[in-house]
Amino acid sequence: MAIRKQAVSGDLAQGKKLPPTRVFATELGVSRSTIVTAYEQLVAEGYLQSIPGSGYTVCPIGSVELNVSDHPALSKQPAETIASPKPFQAGQPDMRLFPHLQWAKTISRVCRTNPQSMLIGNTVQGSFALRTAVANHVSDWRGIAASPDQIFITAGSGDALELCIRTLSQPDDTIGLEDPGYLPLQSFVSVLGLNPAYLSIDKNGASLSSANKNCQLMVLTPSHQYPLGGAMSPSRRLEFIQWAETHNGWIIEDDYDSEFRYAGRPIPAMAGFDNLSRTIYIGSFSKIFSNSLRLGYVILPSPLVGAFKETLNRFGVRASYMPQQALAEFIETGEFYRHLRRMRRVYGERRNFLLDRLSLSFSDHGSFEDHQAGMQIAFHLKKTGNDVEVSNRANAEGLTTQPLSKFGSGNSALNGLLLGFCGFTEAELEEGLQTLERVLKRGC
């Protein structure tokens, strides 16, 4: 435990008096008997001594015959640092800017006042407090009117997508997928034995055709298409909603990074446009808050709530209860929105830097469209460069790039690189761009 380590290392000085058991128990949010047991164990091991009427103090280090170097578990460990990601990993938030102190204070407050909420849940839908916070958030930011009863907390957006597909499809069903689109989704559809019907992308977003109107389910990214960018036009959204109503189908709206729009407010969600009639909405905290929490949510039309509960009862809940109450309080106190505003400003500056450099130095190698949103840019290479070869060479030079052609079904003529910018400082972006420019000049 921490007291043992600090006594051995000298961080707790000889004779240092420890907090009274009752006070310490209150601070940690545990029972007094737990603290008494821990203190007495340390007395038995020779780290502490108990003086009647005076409490517990740290023993002289000489009374503990222990060579710390022989016990790695008790040795001082170097402080963990947040490794710098490699440009240009897409969808990577900058965790170096995470509000660690504010988050720690929130966790501490929940531990003191409501510790059971971090471990005990009585519903497969997740924390009611967090579902309420999500309902308020999507009402303000995405134009969706939903009650907490329509919301399920998930282990990220990937878990939400899996939950939706398991609940709403059967083997051999046909499911509409954007082409190009999200690679893990394509793999999961294949594993479940579903038949993908690919939806081509144009300037108005995903498009319907006679060949894919027999789908039972469509998965769309209407607010910011992945990976190309761009928003679906209102007329195209209406066309999909009319398809769902006519064919008794469902639309899954994957709204993975819509909060990051750098001109005006985020575009209203399709689920709000549809009033949650035939559209299921998926959101995530991985991009806007922390990719390590693995928390997301799905918002359902009311008639589907029972079926989704049955799926979770059958396959199990993956979302951890541990951080949910704390995240709810983080949102309610406004700390979440302060962090979000800061990230939009910082990411916007990094985006501008990347676009300026691409315009200035990379016009001979390719082009891009500025959609004023998202966490990555699709850089389309000229035909003289093959994106898989370019990506492999760039990654061998220490970068992290993805070829756009890998996101397609094989029927499209994609040739480019997906360049993320949010997780990197301007200096890191500049270094990465210099490396990428050398790679392109050698190969194009």
The span from the CA of 422 to the CA of 347, in Å, is 5
- Point out the least confidently predicted range of 73-82, 231-240, 326-335: 73-82
Which segments of 257-406 does DSSP mark as H helices, in order? 270-273, 305-315, 324-332, 335-361, 387-396
Whether 435 shows a pLDDT value over 70: the answer reads yes
Range of the domain at 221: 123-333
Q: Is 4 left (phi over 0), alpha (psi -120 to 50) or beta?
A: alpha
Task: Please calculate the CA angle 145-248-149 and round it to the nearest 5 degrees.
Answer: 30
Is residue 430 in a domain? no
Is residue 420 in a domain? no
214 and 305 assigned to the same domain: yes
Please, which pLDDT band fits residue 73 given cuts at 50, 70 and 90? very low
- The sign of the CA dihedral 233, 234, 235, 240 is positive
pTM equals 0.80
Please, which pLDDT band fits residue 72 given cuts at 50, 70 and 90? very low
Is residue 84 in a domain? no
Instruction: State the chain's mean pLDDT as an integer.
Output: 87
Is residue 343 in a domain? no
The span from the CA of 25 to the CA of 37, in Å, is 11
CATH number at residue 58: 1.10.10.10
Please, which pLDDT band fits residue 242 given cuts at 50, 70 and 90? very high
266 and 192 assigned to the same domain: yes
pLDDT digits (tens, 9 = 90+) for 181-213: 998 898 889 888 999 999 999 999 999 987 677
Report which residue type is found at 156. G
Is residue 88 in a domain? no
Is residue 338 in a domain? no
Give the per-residue pLDDT at 75: 43
CATH number at residue 230: 3.40.640.10
Give the per-residue pLDDT at 224: 93
pLDDT digits (tens, 9 = 90+) for 366-395: 999 999 999 999 999 997 679 999 999 999
Percentage of the residues of the chain whose pLDDT score is greater than 70: 88
- Point out the least confidently predicted range of 8-22, 154-168, 227-241, 393-407: 8-22
pLDDT digits (tens, 9 = 90+) for 292-345: 888 999 999 999 999 999 999 999 999 988 899 999 999 999 999 999 999 999
